[in-house]
Every structure is written in structure tokens, then in C-alpha cells.
Amino acid sequence: MSLTEQVAVVTGAGRGLGLACVRALARDGAAVVVATPEDGERTEVMAELEAAGHQVLGTSTDVTSEDDLAQMVTATLARFGRLDILVNNAGVIGPTAALQDVARSEWEAVMDVNVTGVFLASRAVLPTLLAQRSGRIINIASAAGQIGFPLRSPYAASKWAVIGLTKTLAVEVAGDGILVNAVCPGPIDGPRMDAIIEAKAQATGIPAAEVREQLHGETLLGRLIPAEHIAEMVAFLASDRAASITGQTLDVNAGYRV
């Protein structure tokens, strides 16, 4: 799945799934842009990739900032001369609470990053992709954007919105050679899921170990999903092997709540 001479931007690329995506795309030959507002994480990821011989650029990018996104695109084009792939990965998990206990500020904070951030980042790169008449936009949605997801209403609603945005944008830009897809992970193993499990345990009074076991039991494979497995789907969608796939929602969920 060679991505040689391709340039990929990954938002929220400093840790977790974003870092796994950067590694997979770089491994397959892409020059990568590590777009994250976290200076320490960005520096560490860039050092790792540069030591491995990959082409890499870091940008201080908050996806809710139009100025940051414009600077990200300008810096990418100045360094590499093109931009081919956008992975909209940046996101926040939001509160774990019944809807009546969710503050408006908490709701808006999730929507700002998870929905408006995807909109703004996509809009920022589209002039370049349209001029090239080629490109890929890959949005990280969630299984929570396909099912009822109790105690996580802002997050679930945001991911349903990402899927709707994906399908609509795919229709708009298909004639310009741009493919737009969403990837829906199930429960991903790692610190972020640990925090979600702990928050659910506190909200429900169920021990965290039991919450984790419930999650395992809700997947056909009986386990959480390594971030690298989702990153492999992202790398596939970025490649020529996925040249006839657009407007789709692809699940990497270990059979979660099938």
C-alpha cells in the first residue's frame, strides 16, 4: 500500500490513535504532518519519525482555530509542495453522565472539537485538494455514532454528525477526484479508554474491573481493539487499494455490540 510521494496530515497526532495513524502512514511511505497543539507530544513524535528516516513536519494546530488550520496548510505546502490526505482524528471524550446532568458548556466543548473541528479542517484543506483534483479525507467517527450510547450523549451525537458530514462531503467532491470516508472504531485499548471506564464506574457505582469486563463481553472477539488495527484501516483508505471506496463508514470494532 505504497504512499510514496503522498503527504498526510493527521490531527490530534501526538498520542493514541493519532500517533498510530502517523506511524502507519509514514511506514507506508507518506510524508506526515503531526498536527497537535501539544508541544511536548509533537516534539517526541517528530523525533521518533525523523530517527526512523521518515519525512515529518510538526504544526501547532488546534482544530477549533481557523488561523491554526490555515497555518497548517500553508506550512505543509511550503515544506512538501502538496497535501494529499487529511485524517480528522482530533477529538475529546466529553462527560460521562445522564443527559439531564450534562452542562451546555460540556455539550458545546465536545461539538466544537469533534464536529466543528472536522468541518473546519476539511474546509481548510479542500482548496488544495480541489486544485489537485485528488485527495483523501478520512474522518475518525466511532461505534458510538451508530448506536444508542447511554451516559455519553454529547460524544455519541458528535460522532453521528461526523458520519453525516462524511457522507455529504463525499457526494459534493466525488467529481473532483476526492474520496471521503469515515472509520468507526469500537472500544480502543489504551489510556483514553481507561479514563472512560473509570468515569463510567464513578457514574454507575459499578467497579471499573466489571465495566471493563462488560466492554469485553460486548465484542465478538472478547477484547478491546489495539489502536494499530484502526490505523491499518486508515492507511488502507489512504492507498490506491481503496480507489473505489467513498462515502462509506467502515467499522473496526471487534464485533462490538453486533
| 211 pLDDT higher than 80 | yes
Query: Span 197-207, mean pLDDT?
Result: 94
Number of domains in the chain: 2
Asked whether the predicted pLDDT for residue 1 surpasses 70, the reply is no
Determine, yes or no, domain membership for 258. Answer: no
pLDDT of residue 121: 98
Same domain assignment for residues 111 and 237: yes
Q: If 0-12 CB within 10 Å is exposed, 13-18 middle and 19+ buried, where does residue 85 land?
A: buried
Do 79 and 26 share a domain, yes or no? yes
**SS3 string of 87-137?**
EECCCCCCCCECHHHCCHHHHHHHHHHHHHHHHHHHHHHHHHHHHHCCEEE
Residue 2 falls inside a structural domain = no
Same domain? For 160 and 193 the reply is no
- Judge whether 114 lies within some domain: yes
- As a whole-number percent, the residues of the chain with pLDDT over 70 amount to 100
Helix ranges (H only) for 139-190 are 153-173
pLDDT over 70 (residue 37): yes
Q: Name the grid cell of 221.
A: 472477539
Whether 157 and 100 share a structural domain = yes
Residue in this structure with the C-alpha cell 473496526, named with its chain if needed: 252
Mark whether 48 and 171 lie in a shared domain: yes
C-alpha cell at 110: 465536545
Predicted confidence (pLDDT) per residue in 17-31, tens digit: 999 999 999 999 999
Mean pLDDT for the chain? 97
Residue 257 maps to a domain: no
Alpha-carbon distance of 28 to 155, in angstroms, equals 31
Cell numbers 472539537: residue: 113
| Structural domain contains residue 72 | yes
Question: Looking at the chain, how many residues does it have?
Answer: 258
151 and 123 in a single domain? The answer is: yes
The strand pairing partners of 97, in sequence order, are: 152
Is pLDDT at 244 greater than 70 in this prediction? yes
82: CB partners within 8 A, 6+ apart: 7, 128, 132
155 part of the active site: yes
Average of per-residue pLDDT across 46-70: 98
Determine if residue 246 is left, alpha or beta; phi over 0 gives left, psi from -120 to 50 gives alpha, anything else beta.
beta
Q: Kindly state whether residue 135 falls inside one of the protein's structural domains.
A: yes
- Domain identity same for 69 and 79: yes
Same domain? For 145 and 238 the reply is yes
Q: Report pLDDT for 179.
A: 98
Number of other residues whose CB lies within 10 A of the CB of residue 231 = 26
> What is the CATH classification number for the domain harbouring 80?
3.40.50.720
121 and 138 fall within a common domain: yes
Distance CA 224, CA 244 (A): 30
Give the mean model confidence (pLDDT) for residues 122-144. Answer: 98
Say which amino acid occupies 183. Answer: V
Q: Which of 21, 31, 124, 155 is catalytic?
A: 155
Q: Which residues pair with 34 in a beta bridge?
A: 10, 58
Residue bearing cell 472477539: 221
Q: What is the pLDDT of residue 257?
A: 86
Same domain flag for 50 and 78: yes
- 43 shares its domain with 149: yes
pLDDT-wise least confident of 61-70, 88-97, 192-201, 226-235: 192-201
Is position 215 within any domain? yes
- Residues 140, 59, single domain; the answer is yes
**Domain span at residue 60?**
7-186+226-252
What is the reported pLDDT for 127?
Answer: 98
Q: pLDDT digits over 73-102, tens only?
A: 999 999 999 999 999 999 999 999 999 999
> Is 66 part of a structural domain of the chain?
yes
